[in-house]
Amino acid sequence: MSRQAHRFCFPRQGVLFLLSAPSGTGKTTLAQRLLERVSGLSVSVSYTTRPPRPGEVDGRAYHFVSEAEFARLRRAQAFVEWAEVHGALYGTAHAVLDAAVSRGRDLLLEIDVQGARHIKNRYPQAVAIFLLPPSWQELERRLRSRATDSAQTIARRLTRGRQEARQLAWYDYCVVNERLDEAEADLVAIIRTERARIARFTQSATLQSLLGPQPDRSSTAPPLASPDGHEQP
């Protein structure tokens, strides 16, 4: 009678993937493509006081709240990090991250440099990825082609992008988004690599999986022999 093969199973902690980029680099587009392509990856929904953009749905892209509600959440210490970016407030709830890590769920966070640094300090095994445009000239072209911001806003975004890029050294990975398909492939490779790190495995469960079910040797094991060839009682 054939026995069913024992398959390895490696329970692990959830991974927090922090994706930062200068505005207009393609971070939101790439994040959406990753969520559609990578199984078991979900988005961490942050809170913000900025108004929703066309197509954004409350609770999916962000939790859109008033400044008064944001202040209430801050006083309640609901955020692991919060920051003001381009005149709007953004915050990440620590309860969501704690639950994901402990339950083995992988989260993708679109987050600015300040927020990523705060989360990396609290969760050292988080994976910080910085997304760059091919050049600053190309980034300016992309921002102007969106036709959603004033010239003053575009100038402010470009200045901030250069400032953010100076923080590149403490990130774990850098991906240049010249072509979406190639940048997506690079990000998928990073996710797969980090999921396979042994340091993330739950050690006791991993050992049990490797050893597999132990057979009952009480009735099948042959009798032991002494050095002179006689069976031992």
What does the pLDDT read at residue 166? 93
pTM above 0.85, yes or no: no
What does the pLDDT read at residue 66? 97
Per DSSP, the residues of 32-84 read HHHHHHSTTEEEPPPEE-SPPPTT--BTTTBEE--HHHHHHHHHTT-EEEEEE
What does the pLDDT read at residue 91? 92
Per-residue tokens: 230:
């006689």
Return per-residue pLDDT of the chain as tens, 233 residues.
456 666 777 788 999 999 999 988 999 999 999 999 999 999 988 899 999 988 889 988 789 999 999 999 999 999 999 988 778 999 999 988 999 999 999 999 999 898 899 999 999 999 999 999 999 998 889 888 887 778 888 898 899 999 999 999 999 999 999 999 999 999 999 999 999 998 888 766 556 666 666 655 555 555 545 555 555 55
AA identity, residue 167: Q
Residue with tokens 């066309």: 54
What does the pLDDT read at residue 45? 86
146: left (phi over 0), alpha (psi -120 to 50) or beta: alpha
Domains and CATH numbers, the chain: 16-197 (3.40.50.300)
CA–CA distance, 210 with 212 (Å, rounded to integer): 6
